[in-house]
Structure 1
Amino acid sequence: MASRTRSTGLIDELQIVDQLEAEGYFNIFRWSDPAGTRYAEHTHPHDEVRWILSGTLVIEEGGEIFELRAGDRMESPAGIPHSAYTPEDCSYICASRDPSASKRS
């Protein structure tokens, strides 16, 4: 699975959680970062999704920069190095999925 981004327009936390559960995601939680937060390059053992509720999250992955805003969603495959930065306060939903599940969706 290559990273996928899309603008959903959806920012209702309960609807997002229901959607992610239906897609087989687990470990679903809300996370907030203040402006200026940086995450050094890292990887995850599972496929990951970030769904923005408010603010902006900038993710660099595979030489590309993705600027995510409220209602945007980004799915990243397991094991792909990436880094992140919040130029403004940002709240988002995080969730994980077994990499084999993405091959079925």
Structure 2
Amino acid sequence: MKLTRWDKSYKPDVEELKNILRSEGMTPYIWMDEPGTYYGNHSHAFDEVRWVVSGKMRYGVNNEEFVLGPGDRLDLPAGTIHWARVEGDEPVVYLCASK
């Protein structure tokens, strides 16, 4: 697992993030979850990226919890068990990508 925090002085741009993911050989798509959405423990058969555009999402991975905000990126290797929950009162919009 790799967590990368947004360190730019501007808000993330969806097209910029998509282009970065494509340059890494990934196929991105945009997703939105409403407040209260929860995904219980699960894993994927492929490497997976979650890159938050707006809102916040709390993740649990390997007995750690952390919140991703705008621009934060989470790379999960195939088979990594994790859960996710929308944090706060606003929807979260994020990019999903895999190889």
TM-score greater than 0.5 by the shorter chain: yes
SS in 2 for 1:18: helix
Establish whether residue 6 from structure 1 lines up as the match of residue 7 from structure 2: no
Supply the distance in 1 between the matched residues of 2:77 and 2:5 (Cα, whole angstroms): 18
Residues 48-94 of structure 1: CA deviation (Å, up to 9, x unaligned)? 10100000011101101121000100100000110000023100000
Q: 1:1-105 residue pairs with structure 2 within 5 A?
A: 3-8=1-6, 9=8, 11-26=12-27, 28-88=28-88, 89-97=91-99
Q: Which runs of 5+ in 2 are unaligned?
A: none
Supply the distance in 2 between the matched residues of 1:13 and 1:49 (Cα, whole angstroms): 14
Q: How many percent identity over aligned positions?
A: 35
Question: C-alpha displacement at 1:11, in angstroms?
Answer: 1.4
Misfit runs of 4+, over 3 Å: none
Alignment coverage as a number of residue pairs: 94
Calculate the aligned-residue CA RMSD, in Å.
Answer: 1.1
SS in 2 for 1:86: strand
